[in-house]
Structure 1
Amino acid sequence: MAVHSGGCHCGNIRLSFSTALDPTSLEIRACQCSFCTRHGSRAAADPNGHLTISVEDKARLQIYRFGLRTADYLLCRECGVYVAAIAGDGDGARAIVIVNALDDREQFSREPIPVRYDAESREQRLARRRTAWMPVEIRGMT
Protein backbone atom coordinates (compact mmCIF):
# COMPACT_ATOMS: atom_id res chain seq x y z
CA MET A 1 0.00 0.00 0.00
CA ALA A 2 1.12 3.52 -0.76
CA VAL A 3 0.87 6.11 1.99
CA HIS A 4 -0.19 9.67 1.20
CA SER A 5 0.54 12.14 3.99
CA GLY A 6 -0.91 15.54 4.60
CA GLY A 7 -2.81 17.67 7.06
CA CYS A 8 -3.82 21.19 7.83
CA HIS A 9 -1.65 24.21 7.00
CA CYS A 10 -0.34 24.81 10.54
CA GLY A 11 0.39 21.12 11.22
CA ASN A 12 -2.03 20.60 14.12
CA ILE A 13 -3.92 17.89 12.20
CA ARG A 14 -1.90 15.26 10.31
CA LEU A 15 -3.25 12.69 7.85
CA SER A 16 -1.94 9.36 6.65
CA PHE A 17 -4.00 7.82 3.83
CA SER A 18 -3.02 4.25 2.92
CA THR A 19 -4.30 2.76 -0.32
CA ALA A 20 -3.30 0.17 -2.90
CA LEU A 21 -5.04 2.23 -5.60
CA ASP A 22 -3.09 4.49 -7.92
CA PRO A 23 -3.88 8.16 -7.18
CA THR A 24 -4.59 8.80 -10.87
CA SER A 25 -7.32 6.13 -10.91
CA LEU A 26 -8.93 6.88 -7.55
CA GLU A 27 -12.42 8.35 -7.84
CA ILE A 28 -12.54 11.94 -6.60
CA ARG A 29 -15.93 13.30 -5.55
CA ALA A 30 -17.00 16.93 -5.45
CA CYS A 31 -20.01 17.01 -3.15
CA GLN A 32 -22.38 19.77 -4.18
CA CYS A 33 -23.70 20.62 -0.70
CA SER A 34 -23.19 24.20 0.44
CA PHE A 35 -20.45 23.25 2.95
CA CYS A 36 -18.32 21.30 0.45
CA THR A 37 -18.74 23.78 -2.41
CA ARG A 38 -17.68 26.63 -0.14
CA HIS A 39 -14.52 24.67 0.73
CA GLY A 40 -13.78 23.56 -2.84
CA SER A 41 -13.81 20.03 -1.50
CA ARG A 42 -12.38 17.11 -3.45
CA ALA A 43 -12.96 13.96 -1.41
CA ALA A 44 -11.61 10.43 -1.80
CA ALA A 45 -11.97 7.12 -0.01
CA ASP A 46 -10.79 3.58 -0.58
CA PRO A 47 -13.02 1.10 1.29
CA ASN A 48 -10.02 -1.27 1.34
CA GLY A 49 -7.64 1.47 2.45
CA HIS A 50 -7.16 3.23 5.77
CA LEU A 51 -6.99 6.78 7.07
CA THR A 52 -5.14 7.81 10.23
CA ILE A 53 -5.87 11.25 11.67
CA SER A 54 -3.52 12.61 14.34
CA VAL A 55 -4.43 15.72 16.30
CA GLU A 56 -1.69 17.50 18.24
CA ASP A 57 -3.87 20.00 20.14
CA LYS A 58 -7.51 18.97 20.52
CA ALA A 59 -8.46 22.55 21.48
CA ARG A 60 -7.51 23.67 17.95
CA LEU A 61 -9.72 21.03 16.30
CA GLN A 62 -13.14 22.14 15.08
CA ILE A 63 -15.77 19.43 14.62
CA TYR A 64 -18.75 20.61 12.60
CA ARG A 65 -22.08 18.83 11.97
CA PHE A 66 -24.95 19.96 9.78
CA GLY A 67 -27.88 18.64 7.74
CA LEU A 68 -28.77 15.12 8.83
CA ARG A 69 -25.93 15.27 11.40
CA THR A 70 -24.52 11.91 10.26
CA ALA A 71 -20.86 12.91 10.03
CA ASP A 72 -18.25 15.02 11.78
CA TYR A 73 -16.43 17.43 9.48
CA LEU A 74 -12.92 18.11 10.77
CA LEU A 75 -11.37 21.54 10.40
CA CYS A 76 -8.44 23.22 12.06
CA ARG A 77 -9.42 26.20 14.24
CA GLU A 78 -5.93 27.67 13.81
CA CYS A 79 -5.57 27.69 10.01
CA GLY A 80 -9.10 26.84 8.82
CA VAL A 81 -8.27 23.84 6.63
CA TYR A 82 -10.97 21.16 6.11
CA VAL A 83 -9.15 17.79 6.22
CA ALA A 84 -11.65 14.91 6.55
CA ALA A 85 -15.12 13.75 7.48
CA ILE A 86 -15.92 10.86 9.83
CA ALA A 87 -19.14 8.88 10.19
CA GLY A 88 -19.67 6.52 13.11
CA ASP A 89 -17.32 5.87 15.98
CA GLY A 90 -15.04 3.26 17.45
CA ASP A 91 -14.13 0.31 15.25
CA GLY A 92 -17.05 1.10 12.94
CA ALA A 93 -15.91 4.65 12.12
CA ARG A 94 -15.51 5.39 8.40
CA ALA A 95 -13.99 8.43 6.73
CA ILE A 96 -13.22 10.35 3.60
CA VAL A 97 -10.03 12.32 3.12
CA ILE A 98 -10.01 15.74 1.54
CA VAL A 99 -7.52 15.45 -1.30
CA ASN A 100 -6.66 19.16 -1.11
CA ALA A 101 -5.21 18.50 2.37
CA LEU A 102 -2.74 15.88 1.09
CA ASP A 103 0.88 16.85 0.43
CA ASP A 104 0.89 15.07 -2.95
CA ARG A 105 -2.59 16.31 -3.98
CA GLU A 106 -1.45 16.93 -7.56
CA GLN A 107 -1.09 13.14 -8.04
CA PHE A 108 -4.88 12.78 -7.54
CA SER A 109 -5.48 14.14 -11.02
CA ARG A 110 -8.81 12.60 -11.96
CA GLU A 111 -11.54 15.11 -12.70
CA PRO A 112 -13.84 15.31 -9.65
CA ILE A 113 -17.30 13.81 -10.10
CA PRO A 114 -20.02 16.20 -8.90
CA VAL A 115 -22.33 14.34 -6.48
CA ARG A 116 -25.54 15.25 -4.69
CA TYR A 117 -26.85 13.34 -1.70
CA ASP A 118 -29.89 15.54 -0.86
CA ALA A 119 -32.41 12.80 -1.71
CA GLU A 120 -30.88 10.27 0.72
CA SER A 121 -32.62 9.44 3.97
CA ARG A 122 -30.55 9.27 7.14
CA GLU A 123 -30.44 5.46 6.89
CA GLN A 124 -29.43 5.51 3.21
CA ARG A 125 -26.66 7.99 3.91
CA LEU A 126 -25.24 5.92 6.76
CA ALA A 127 -25.42 2.73 4.67
CA ARG A 128 -23.58 4.39 1.74
CA ARG A 129 -20.85 5.63 4.04
CA ARG A 130 -20.40 2.18 5.62
CA THR A 131 -19.65 0.70 2.19
CA ALA A 132 -18.00 3.58 0.29
CA TRP A 133 -15.93 5.28 3.00
CA MET A 134 -12.78 3.79 4.56
CA PRO A 135 -11.79 2.66 8.04
CA VAL A 136 -10.27 5.39 10.15
CA GLU A 137 -8.10 5.61 13.23
CA ILE A 138 -8.14 8.83 15.22
CA ARG A 139 -5.28 9.77 17.53
CA GLY A 140 -5.40 12.62 20.01
CA MET A 141 -9.11 13.46 19.85
CA THR A 142 -10.20 11.72 23.03
Structure 2
Amino acid sequence: MRVGRCACSFCRRHGARTLGDPAGSVEFRAASGALSRYRFGLGITDYLLCAKCGAYVGAVMADDGKAIGIVNVNSLDISDTFDPAPPLHHYDGEDEARRRARRRKFWMTATVIA
Protein backbone atom coordinates (compact mmCIF):
# COMPACT_ATOMS: atom_id res chain seq x y z
CA MET A 1 0.00 0.00 0.00
CA ARG A 2 1.34 3.42 -0.93
CA VAL A 3 0.09 6.92 -0.14
CA GLY A 4 1.58 9.76 -2.11
CA ARG A 5 1.05 13.21 -3.54
CA CYS A 6 1.28 14.17 -7.20
CA ALA A 7 2.87 17.52 -8.04
CA CYS A 8 0.53 18.30 -10.96
CA SER A 9 -1.66 21.41 -10.69
CA PHE A 10 -4.90 19.37 -10.49
CA CYS A 11 -3.74 17.29 -7.53
CA ARG A 12 -2.13 20.27 -5.79
CA ARG A 13 -5.34 22.33 -6.12
CA HIS A 14 -7.32 19.47 -4.57
CA GLY A 15 -4.71 18.82 -1.87
CA ALA A 16 -4.83 15.17 -2.92
CA ARG A 17 -3.19 12.35 -1.02
CA THR A 18 -3.78 9.21 -3.06
CA LEU A 19 -3.68 5.59 -2.02
CA GLY A 20 -2.81 2.67 -4.26
CA ASP A 21 -2.44 -0.98 -3.36
CA PRO A 22 -1.71 -3.40 -6.22
CA ALA A 23 -2.82 -6.30 -3.99
CA GLY A 24 -6.12 -4.57 -3.18
CA SER A 25 -9.17 -3.22 -4.92
CA VAL A 26 -11.41 -0.18 -4.72
CA GLU A 27 -15.08 0.28 -5.56
CA PHE A 28 -16.46 3.76 -6.18
CA ARG A 29 -20.19 3.58 -5.54
CA ALA A 30 -22.50 6.57 -5.96
CA ALA A 31 -26.03 7.41 -7.04
CA SER A 32 -26.57 7.90 -10.76
CA GLY A 33 -25.22 11.31 -11.78
CA ALA A 34 -23.42 11.89 -8.47
CA LEU A 35 -19.94 11.47 -9.98
CA SER A 36 -18.42 13.61 -12.71
CA ARG A 37 -15.48 12.40 -14.79
CA TYR A 38 -12.69 14.73 -15.83
CA ARG A 39 -9.78 14.06 -18.19
CA PHE A 40 -6.67 16.10 -18.85
CA GLY A 41 -3.03 15.57 -19.77
CA LEU A 42 -2.65 12.35 -21.75
CA GLY A 43 -6.44 11.81 -21.61
CA ILE A 44 -6.16 8.19 -20.45
CA THR A 45 -7.55 8.61 -16.93
CA ASP A 46 -10.99 9.47 -15.55
CA TYR A 47 -10.65 11.66 -12.48
CA LEU A 48 -13.76 11.13 -10.37
CA LEU A 49 -15.29 14.22 -8.79
CA CYS A 50 -18.38 14.73 -6.67
CA ALA A 51 -20.89 16.29 -9.08
CA LYS A 52 -22.31 18.42 -6.26
CA CYS A 53 -19.24 19.89 -4.53
CA GLY A 54 -16.36 19.08 -6.90
CA ALA A 55 -14.36 17.05 -4.38
CA TYR A 56 -11.80 14.76 -6.01
CA VAL A 57 -12.49 11.21 -4.79
CA GLY A 58 -10.27 9.07 -7.02
CA ALA A 59 -9.11 8.15 -10.49
CA VAL A 60 -9.56 5.16 -12.79
CA MET A 61 -7.87 4.07 -16.00
CA ALA A 62 -8.71 1.26 -18.41
CA ASP A 63 -5.82 -1.17 -18.72
CA ASP A 64 -5.79 -4.46 -20.61
CA GLY A 65 -9.55 -4.98 -20.37
CA LYS A 66 -9.91 -4.03 -16.71
CA ALA A 67 -9.91 -0.83 -14.69
CA ILE A 68 -7.24 0.19 -12.22
CA GLY A 69 -7.43 3.13 -9.87
CA ILE A 70 -6.45 5.09 -6.81
CA VAL A 71 -8.49 6.74 -4.08
CA ASN A 72 -7.95 10.20 -2.63
CA VAL A 73 -7.73 9.48 1.10
CA ASN A 74 -8.92 13.02 1.84
CA SER A 75 -12.37 11.87 0.70
CA LEU A 76 -12.50 9.14 3.35
CA ASP A 77 -13.90 9.44 6.87
CA ILE A 78 -10.63 7.91 8.09
CA SER A 79 -8.37 10.37 6.25
CA ASP A 80 -6.62 11.37 9.48
CA THR A 81 -5.14 7.87 9.80
CA PHE A 82 -2.88 8.51 6.78
CA ASP A 83 0.35 10.49 6.64
CA PRO A 84 -0.59 14.19 6.34
CA ALA A 85 2.44 14.89 4.12
CA PRO A 86 3.32 11.77 2.10
CA PRO A 87 6.08 11.90 -0.53
CA LEU A 88 5.57 14.33 -3.41
CA HIS A 89 6.04 12.76 -6.85
CA HIS A 90 6.80 14.59 -10.12
CA TYR A 91 5.55 12.81 -13.23
CA ASP A 92 6.26 15.56 -15.78
CA GLY A 93 7.62 14.21 -19.02
CA GLU A 94 6.10 10.74 -18.71
CA ASP A 95 4.81 9.36 -21.98
CA GLU A 96 1.75 7.10 -22.06
CA ALA A 97 3.72 3.84 -21.93
CA ARG A 98 5.72 4.89 -18.85
CA ARG A 99 2.64 6.27 -17.12
CA ARG A 100 0.71 3.03 -17.66
CA ALA A 101 3.67 0.95 -16.44
CA ARG A 102 3.98 3.00 -13.24
CA ARG A 103 0.28 2.80 -12.56
CA ARG A 104 0.20 -0.98 -13.10
CA LYS A 105 2.85 -1.21 -10.39
CA PHE A 106 1.08 0.94 -7.76
CA TRP A 107 -2.65 1.19 -8.59
CA MET A 108 -5.34 -1.37 -7.70
CA THR A 109 -8.23 -3.07 -9.45
CA ALA A 110 -11.10 -0.59 -9.58
CA THR A 111 -14.85 -0.62 -10.17
CA VAL A 112 -17.12 2.38 -10.65
CA ILE A 113 -20.84 1.96 -9.95
CA ALA A 114 -22.62 5.25 -10.53
TM-score (normalizing by structure 2): 0.91
Partner in structure 1 of residue 69 of structure 2: 95
Match in the other structure for 2:45: 71
Q: How does 1:10-29 map to 2 (within 5 A)?
A: 26-29=1-4
1:112 counterpart residue number:
86
2:2/2:106 contact within 8 Å kept: no
* Structure 1 counterpart of 2:32: 57
3-state DSSP class of the match of 2:91?
Answer: coil
**How far did residue 119 of structure 1 move?**
1.9
Q: Partner of 2:109 in structure 1?
A: 135
Report the Cα distance in structure 2 between the residues aligned to 1:44 and 1:103, rounded to whole angstroms.
14
> Which amino acid letter does the alignment assign opposite residue 128 of structure 1?
R
CA deviations 1:72-104 (Å, max 9, x no partner) are 100012121110000116852100000100111
Note the C-alpha offset of 1:110: 6.0
- Alpha-carbon deviation of 1:137? 1.6
Q: Determine the structure 2 residue equivalent to 1:45.
A: 20
RMSD: 1.7
Does 2:96 match 1:122?
A: yes
1:118 and 1:103, CA in 2 relative to 1: closer, same or farther beyond 3 A?
A: same
Rg larger for: 1
TM-score (norm 1): 0.74
**Equivalent position amino acid for 1:106 in 2:** D
Q: What's the CA shift for 1:48?
A: 0.3
Query: Which amino acid in the other structure matches residue 61 of structure 1?
Result: L
Q: 1:19: which partner in 2?
A: none
Structure 1 runs (4+) deviating above 3 angstroms are: none
Could you say which structure has the greater relative contact order, defined with CA pairs below 8 angstroms and 6 or more residues apart?
2
Q: Which runs of 5+ in 1 are unaligned?
A: 1-25
The number of aligned residues is: 114
Unaligned runs of 5+ in 2: none
